């Protein structure tokens, strides 16, 4: 689904990502961890073609990202859903309208929107909040709206950038359960996080980036395996 082959990105002589090689298969759930400035944002921005790689090859599904034209970028991004730490909901639109907006910009038919939005609100557990505005919701509910908006167009990949960063532990657990359920439907999930407790509980694949280099790619608690474990300060930036 996502493939990096010898990918390098430099910023004015500083390493953003260097000689990165990774394959994320269709349906994987991957945690992307590392200290601030390690290269996590560069990794995500390269997937979205917000920036250009200086060397190497990036593929996302059928798209060769490094060779695609600017005209093709919207086609790529329609297949990728994104969830942010700060929700980014439209304050003057209801829950229904916030989620529907992601379909409207793709010129979906109104009857399709009216059918699809309630389905997705039900999936994320907020079908009873459809007429509420963002400021009337809890932080956890707002994040569920953001997730609904991200998956409304059936993306092949869901990128979650610190989706639990503003949430209390119980609410964060609920969001992680929801992301796990979405992943179980076949959606590939790539989640950027600093939350060691979440990585521990989920027991998924963990890719760690440090100083622009992929330094770990393992499964388990914090990346535990027989051959060793992550250094928490090195990987999580604490």
Helix (H, G, I), strand (E, B) or coil at 204: coil
Same domain, 70 and 167: yes
Produce one character per residue of 183-206: b if its CB has 16 or more CB atoms within 10 Å, e if not: beeebbbbbbbbbbebbeebebbb
Query: 212 in a domain, yes or no?
Result: yes
Domain that holds residue 191: 1-79+156-231
Give the residue from 133, 154, 175 where a domain finishes. Answer: 154
What's the pLDDT at 203? 87
What's the pLDDT at 219? 85
Query: 47 in a domain, yes or no?
Result: yes
What's the pLDDT at 225? 41
CA–CA dist 130, 121 (Å, integer):
8
Same domain, 110 and 212: no
Give the residue from 154, 173, 205 where a domain finishes. Answer: 154
Edge-first strand listing for the sheet containing 80-84: 80-84, 157-161, 188-192, 29-33, 205-210, 213-219
- Give average pLDDT by consecutive 10-residue segment, the chain, 238 residues: 97 95 96 93 96 97 94 94 93 98 95 97 96 97 97 96 92 96 96 91 93 90 43 48
What's the pLDDT at 85? 87
Query: 2 in a domain, yes or no?
Result: yes
The CATH number of the domain where 66 resides is what? 3.40.50.300
The answer to whether 77 and 48 have CB atoms below 8 angstroms apart is: yes
Same domain, 67 and 164: yes
The tally of domains found in the chain comes to: 2
Same domain, 48 and 104: no
What's the pLDDT at 220? 64
What's the pLDDT at 194? 87
Same domain, 9 and 38: yes
What's the pLDDT at 166? 86
Give the residue from 154, 172, 196 where a domain finishes. Answer: 154
Per-residue tokens: 111: 């009857």
CA–CA dist 36, 192 (Å, integer):
11
What's the pLDDT at 221? 58
pTM of the entire predicted model:
0.89
């Amino acid at each position: 689904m996502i493939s990096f082959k010898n990918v390098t990105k430099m910023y004015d002589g500083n390493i953003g990502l260097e000689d990165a090689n990774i394959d994320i298969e269709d349906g994987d759930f991957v945690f992307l961890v590392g200290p601030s400035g390690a290269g996590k944002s560069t990794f995500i921005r390269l997937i979205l073609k917000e920036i250009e790689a200086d060397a190497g090859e990036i593929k996302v599904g059928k798209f060769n990202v490094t060779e695609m034209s600017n005209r093709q970028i919207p086609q790529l991004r329609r297949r990728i859903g994104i969830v942010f730490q700060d929700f980014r909901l439209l304050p003057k639109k209801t829950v229904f309208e916030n989620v529907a907006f992601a379909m409207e910009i793709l010129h979906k038919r109104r009857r399709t929107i009216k059918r699809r939005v309630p389905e997705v609100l039900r999936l994320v557990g907020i079908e009873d909040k459809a007429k509420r505005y963002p400021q009337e919701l809890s932080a956890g509910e707002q994040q569920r709206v953001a997730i609904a908006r991200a998956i409304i167009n059936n993306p092949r990949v869901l990128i979650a950038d610190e989706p639990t960063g503003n949430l209390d532990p119980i609410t964060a657990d609920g969001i992680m359960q929801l992301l796990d359920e979405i992943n179980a439907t076949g959606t590939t999930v790539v989640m950027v996080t600093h939350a060691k407790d979440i990585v521990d509980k989920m027991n998924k694949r963990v890719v760690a980036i440090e100083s622009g280099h992929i330094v770990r790619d393992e499964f388990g608690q914090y990346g535990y395996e027989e051959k060793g474990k992550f250094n928490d300060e090195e990987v999580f930036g604490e």
